[in-house]
Every structure is written in structure tokens, then in C-alpha cells.
């Protein structure tokens, strides 16, 4: 893709995903736009094994935006970072098409392992603010990672993940994350557990009342028999 096509594509993506945009010129001020321009050039240099120059271009992007994308990362079409400060994307990360990240997201490793040590993110995935996806795990297509979650294990397609550590709380949600970009209306696993405990407690209390009533009736019958 030529440079001008890259620019037009990035402008389209930012305008499409951010309702705060009022004109095309504003896009040139956006950290997501700036860092992706740096990344595309740095990635080309990286593929040609010009590693120093690739990192130089990449670090310039970091200084300007607060977003760190390793030039070795593989990023598909339609990628967007909303706000973006504090986002980190590791070297062996693979990101599919139409993925959205929010500020503070880390796609990182878990130590000094070699080889594929960063996540693989599928198509149409949304990762909420402050979420961490660590290690060589895969997040399936059309999935949503809730804000602040920590994902250490593979996520099936069409899933919603929340919590620390992250776990799947919803499957087969047909609405694609990019159609809503909703970070708030996610299931709360803690609340669900509390509701479950309350329900079980109510059932146990009812059973205990029934047993006490039954025992009371037995005592009355025994007293009447003694008389």
C-alpha cells in the first residue's frame, strides 16, 4: 500500500471509530494516527532487517504519542487506538483486522522466554482500558476484553472476558465489538457470585425453617402421646 493510501486509510479508521472527530484535519493531531504512521515505516525497515533504523523510527513515535509499538509486531487493517497513552505492543504480537485498543492496554510477554512470546489477537476484537493480555495466548475473533482485565489464557471466539485473572463470562455474543465499542455494559462476575450465594442462602434458610417446623410438629405429637 502506498504512503498516501496508508494516510487515507488511517484517516478513515479514526473518523469511523471516534465520534469526537469533526473534521479530517483533526485526525493529524491524534496519537493513534501519528503512531501508526511511525509503525508502518518502522515495520517495513524491520522486515528488511534494518533493526536500528526501525527502532529509531519506533522510538520517535513513542516520544510523540506515549504509545509503544515494537516494529516487529504484525498489525492488520482497520487497527485503532483510542486516546492510547500507555499502550504497549510487544515484538511477536500478531493483531488481526478491525481491532480497537483503549489507553493503557498491554500486549506483552510473561518473562524472558524466546520465540512467540506475545499474544495473537483475532479479528474484530475490542480490548478495554488498562487491560493486559500476556504471553503467547490467542484472543479469538469477535471477542471483547473488559477494562482492567488480565488475560493469561486463550480466549474462545465470540467471548466476553472480565476480571483478574480474566475469565469468560459470556459466549456467542453476535454483536461485533466494533459495532458498539461499549466498555461498560459487561457482566460483573463478583456480583453474579454474590447473587448466587444469596439465592443459595435463601434456599438453605427455607429448608432449615421447614426442618424446624417439622421437628416442632414431631415434638408436639410426642407430647400429646405422652399425655
pTM of the entire predicted model: 0.72
CATH number at residue 33: 2.160.10.10
Same domain flag for 110 and 23: yes
Same domain flag for 178 and 193: no
- In tens digits, the chain (227 residues) has pLDDT values of 566 777 777 777 777 777 777 777 888 888 888 898 899 999 999 999 999 999 999 999 999 999 999 999 999 988 989 888 899 999 999 999 999 999 999 999 887 677 889 999 999 999 999 999 999 999 999 999 999 999 999 999 999 998 888 888 876 655 555 555 555 556 666 666 777 788 888 888 888 888 888 877 766 666 665 65
How many folded domains does the chain comprise?
Answer: 2
Same domain flag for 33 and 143: yes
pLDDT tens-digit series, residues 114-125: 788 999 999 999
Boundaries of domain holding 198:
188-227
Same domain flag for 206 and 126: no
- Report the alpha-carbon distance of residue 199 to residue 191 in Å, rounded: 12
pLDDT tens-digit series, residues 45-95: 999 999 999 999 999 999 999 999 999 999 998 898 988 889 999 999 999
Same domain flag for 208 and 182: no
Same domain flag for 199 and 164: no
Amino acid at each position: 500500500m502506498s504512503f498516501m493510501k496508508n494516510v487515507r486509510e488511517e484517516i478513515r479508521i479514526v473518523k469511523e471509530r471516534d465520534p469526537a472527530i469533526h473534521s479530517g484535519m483533526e485526525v493529524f493531531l491524534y496519537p493513534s494516527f501519528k503512531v501508526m504512521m511511525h509503525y508502518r515505516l518502522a515495520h517495513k525497515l524491520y522486515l528488511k532487517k534494518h533493526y536500528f533504523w526501525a527502532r529509531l523510527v519506533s522510538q520517535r513515535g513513542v516520544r510523540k504519542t506515549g504509545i509503544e509499538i515494537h516494529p516487529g509486531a504484525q498489525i492488520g487493517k482497520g487497527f485503532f487506538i483510542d486516546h492510547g497513552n500507555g499502550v504497549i505492543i510487544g515484538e511477536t504480537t500478531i493483531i488481526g483486522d478491525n481491532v480497537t485498543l483503549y489507553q493503557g492496554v498491554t500486549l506483552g510477554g510473561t518473562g524472558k522466554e524466546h520465540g512467540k512470546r506475545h499474544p495473537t489477537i483475532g479479528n474484530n476484537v475490542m480490548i478495554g482500558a488498562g487491560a493486559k493480555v500476556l504471553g503467547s495466548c490467542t484472543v479469538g475473533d469477535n471477542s471483547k476484553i473488559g477494562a482492567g482485565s488480565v488475560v493469561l489464557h486463550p480466549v474462545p471466539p465470540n467471548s466476553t472476558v472480565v476480571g483478574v485473572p480474566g475469565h469468560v463470562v459470556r459466549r456467542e455474543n453476535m454483536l461485533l465489538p466494533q459495532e458498539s465499542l461499549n466498555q461498560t455494559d459487561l457482566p460483573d462476575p463478583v456480583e453474579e457470585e454474590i447473587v448466587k450465594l444469596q439465592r443459595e442462602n435463601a434456599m438453605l434458610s427455607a429448608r432449615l425453617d421447614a426442618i424446624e417446623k417439622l421437628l416442632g410438629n414431631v415434638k408436639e405429637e410426642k407430647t400429646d402421646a405422652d399425655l
